[in-house]
Amino acid sequence: MGKYSLYKVPLRSLPEGKSLFDYQLDDKYFALLDDGSAEIKKGSVSVELVLKKANNIFELNFTIHGEVKVPCDRCLDNISMDVDTENRLIVKYGQEYSEESDEIVVIPEEDGEINIAWFLYEFILLSIPMKRVHAPGECNKTMSSKLKKYKATSPSEDDDDDSEDDDLADDSAGSDDSGDSRWDTLKGLKFEDE
């Protein structure tokens, strides 16, 4: 855990009341956490941590602002996403480390510190949308042309994902499919009910 030492908060040595911590998360931070499956590869994020200590219970309030770069779901080029979130974490002492809920963490009292590196990453990841795509016309042109080439619909249709979903919904609702020649062979089938 030595590589995450910058993100250790020494809970035991803190005085009662409020303590303030500031972190600047840059490309080095995201590279540090990248195990090959990390979704966020780069970014510039400011973190303000206000920690309240009262009777060996610690309330950590995070204010996180900045920008991260993630792969576009369509073309795989990086896309910038804004990060603006506030999160809370309650830390208490116990026998062994455990996460009682999304907001409550128990740490062994003999440790007396918590490493927040992964918590920060999770807060940032949860603050960005699940669907990450460039604005229309901003995707990588080479990838867009390959997608159009292998697209199952006709080239004259709009590239918007929502219109594809609408077309599928229309087909399942029994709309007129006379414009799609793939259905022609099924038109001649007779069912026993008829």
- The answer to whether 108 touches 97, Cβ cutoff 8 Å, is yes
Closest to 81 (Cα-Cα) out of 132, 139, 29: 132
Higher per-residue confidence, 13 vs 22: 22
- The answer to whether 93 touches 111, Cβ cutoff 8 Å, is no
pLDDT for position 81: 92
Whether 164 has a pLDDT exceeding 60, the answer reads: no
Instruction: Work out whether the CA dihedral 100, 103, 109, 111 comes out positive or negative.
Output: positive
pTM for the full predicted model: 0.69
pLDDT for position 165: 43
Helix/strand/coil for 138: coil
pLDDT in tens, 72-96: 888 888 899 999 999 999 999 888 8
pLDDT in tens, 15-55: 888 999 999 999 998 888 877 667 888 999 999 999 999 88
Whether 178 has a pLDDT exceeding 60, the answer reads: no
- Per-residue CA distances from 179 to 84, 100, 130, 142, 165 (Å): 47, 56, 34, 30, 17
- The answer to whether 90 touches 59, Cβ cutoff 8 Å, is yes
- The answer to whether 12 touches 31, Cβ cutoff 8 Å, is no
Helix/strand/coil for 178: coil
Domain residue ranges of the chain, discontinuous segments joined by +: 2-127, 140-172
